[in-house]
Amino acid sequence: MNQEELLDKYYRGETTPEEEQLLKANLPDSVNDSAEKDIFGYFQKESFVPADLEASVFAAMTEHQTKSKIRKIRLYSAISAAAVIIVILSVYLNFQAKENARIENNFFVMEQALFQVSENIQPAEQQEMLVLWVDNDVEIIIN
C-alpha cells in the first residue's frame, strides 16, 4: 500500500494502529513538503510525556488537598470559637438578668417596708398626706 492510499485511509478513520505508526514514521522522511508532514511532525514532537508529569500532578493534588484541609480546620476553629463566645455571652446575660431581678426584688421589698413604716407613723389628722420618713432634721412627706 502506497503512502497516498494510506493517507486516504487515515483521513477516513479506517487505519489500524500499526498503519498509523507506519504512516507517522515514514511521512516525515519523505522529500516533499506537505501539510501532512508538518502535522505529523508536530504531533510526533509534542507527543512525548514529561518525565515528572506524574510527580507534578500528584504534588498539585496533594497541595490542593492540604489547602482544603487547612481551610476546613480554620473554619471549624472559627465556628468553635464563635460557639464558645455565644455560650459565655448567654451565661453572662443570664447571670445579669438574674442579678437585675434580685436587685428589683430587693428594691420592691424595701419599698413595701418603707410604705408600711410610713403608714404606721402617719398621724390620723393627716390622712391625705403620706409620710415616708421622719427624722430629727428631715421629714419626707408626699401629698
- Structural domain spans, the chain: 3-46
Task: Compare 47 and 19 and report the one with higher pLDDT.
Answer: 19
**What is the pLDDT at residue 88?**
97
Encode pLDDT of 83-128 as tens digits.
Answer: 999 999 999 999 999 999 999 999 999 989 988 887 777 666 666 6
Q: Is the dihedral of CA 81, 84, 86, 89 positive or negative?
A: negative
Count of CB atoms situated within 10 Å of the CB of 61: 10
Query: Cell numbers 428589683 label which residue?
Result: 104
CA dist., res. 116 & res. 110, Å (int): 10
DSSP states of 21-41: HHHHHHGGGSSS--HHHHHHH
Q: 0.75 cut: is pTM over it?
A: no
